[in-house]
A = this chain, B = another copy of it.
């Protein structure tokens, strides 16, 4: 019963099998192999546009390198105040950009509103030399709170950013989960809505270690190969990334994986909604569920070996805050989550309430 992370599982079967099937090939090193080329082609196909894409092994590197390409060292990168890039990457974007400033924007349930973005941008007028200069906006899709932006919302934020000369980056660590939730096309959720650069995550959704940085305007990625190499992110056996990405995209495998993860979270939500004493403060939109559990349920779950994160009271409105006998937790399902584990989790919660 691991609901702590969608990084807990290994790789999906087809991805692993693709690695096996190609293992005996001898391939040129450093990404000059046919699998990498094929993956790049597949990404262009998926996004219905000739994109410049760069495979890397980690989401942090995808975000940091992408942002480094969008901001000068004296730039401001705007993101949600609890965004992954500002809270959870140990300053990687600062390192990659040569010291740019990440500026957090407050917003309910992980999302930035147009008003808040406008207000923040107004504090960073262009040309005032003593201030860092507005450079990039980073939108997490899905957000750290498991919420998603609609395509229209993305378009509005991107339009505000662009009007201020600010490029738009999407942190798509859970891109697939958001995409199937919105039931739109990858193009609609990205460049058609104004996204300039995307961190396209595959690791959480079934790869072993594979992400892509995608420049929709391929010219913008002109220097990216140097950034990736210099960051130590060019794999010598680049085929390892290429093979994963090919298998991930093939026959909509990635969408199937994300649908399973989202459906698992929905099943969990449904179960917990009926469990006495459980409160669900936020809408569940992707594969993450945030729940306020009775402490008694929490104790029973942990005794049964369940794993998940205590979320403190982060991002909750004051009136929603957990009471003394409650705990606020994050529950994540993945491509590999088993229905039986969900049902057992729900059953333990329900039983603990009965016992109370």
Interface residues of A (CB under 8 A from B): 2, 4-5, 7-11, 16, 19-20, 22-30, 56-65, 72-74, 87-92, 94-102, 129-133, 203-204, 208-209, 223, 225-227, 229-237, 239-240, 307, 336
Contact = CB atoms under 8 A, between A and B. Distances in A.
A234 B10 CA distance: 16
Nearest to A31: B129
B90 A230 contact: yes
B236 A203 contact: yes
SS of A interface (majority): loop
B236 A58 contact: yes
Contacts of A72: 223, 226
Given A61-B231, A72-B223, A94-B100, 19 more contacts: A8-B27, A9-B26, A10-B237, A16-B23, A30-B129, A57-B209, A63-B232, A74-B226, A89-B232, A91-B99, A91-B100, A91-B230, A92-B230, A94-B94, A95-B95, A98-B98, A99-B99, A203-B237, A209-B236
A25 B10 contact: yes
A7 B33 CA distance: 11
Contacts of A101: 91, 94, 102
A166 to B, nearest CB: 16
B231 A89 contact: no
Given A95-B99, A227-B74, A232 B132 contact: no
A209 B235 contact: yes
A332 to B, nearest CB: 10
Contacts of A235: 57-58, 209
